[in-house]
Amino acid sequence: MQSKHSRSIEEMTKNDRSYYLHTIDHILILFNFNNMTRTYQELITFPTFEERFKYCKLDGKPSELTFNGHRLLNQMLYRSPQWKSVRQKVILRDNGCDLGIADRPIFHNILVHHLNPITIEQITNHDPIVFDLNNLICVDYDTHSAIHYGDLKALAPTKPIERKPNDQTPWK
């Protein structure tokens, strides 16, 4: 008797094929994720914010493979003197601008984003990529969220709210 895994695709049931294809898709995602080689040097060759955003976009894949609940490790890394020093160098290099674009200054908290998401093993093994300036870029909170989980539309400027007299004083 053949096992479920030794049958040909044609012999599998619809559910078997679906599971098999889903597993293959997941393996390919992991393979592509682990083989990303984004660099700051390549990023800055893209002249527009949109192009740089597309270059950085992660489609929500990294959270499973990076900290995923290891909050203490996350805090230890981002509160370390070495990280604070590297972070300051990145902010100075990028002039505190979103994705390093000169006409997109960040006026509130500046985040420093890893172009290639780091793993727990890279942190615990003190892999130099964690602090590599060529793997880091300044972003604001909205850009960072969109890189990981959203899309460019989430960053589109919104139409300002037209204010009216007394619209913020409900007692009048």
Render pLDDT for 105-136 as a digit per residue (tens, 0 to 9).
999 999 999 999 888 888 889 899 999 999 99
Nearest to 145 by CA among 154, 133, 136: 154
111 forms bridges with which residues in the sheet?
A: 139
What do you get for the CA distance between the two ends of the chain, in Å?
A: 81
**Per-residue tokens: 50:** 């949109």
Look at residue 15 in the predicted model and tell me its pLDDT. 53
What distance in Å separates the CA atoms of residue 65 and residue 37, rounded to the nearest whole number? 16
Distances (CA, A) of 142 to 9, 26, 99, 153, 157: 43, 27, 12, 11, 11
Which range of 2-16, 47-61, 95-109 scores highest in mean pLDDT? It is 95-109
Q: How confident is the model at residue 13 (pLDDT cuts 50, 70, 90)?
A: low
Chain-centre distance for alpha carbon 116? 8
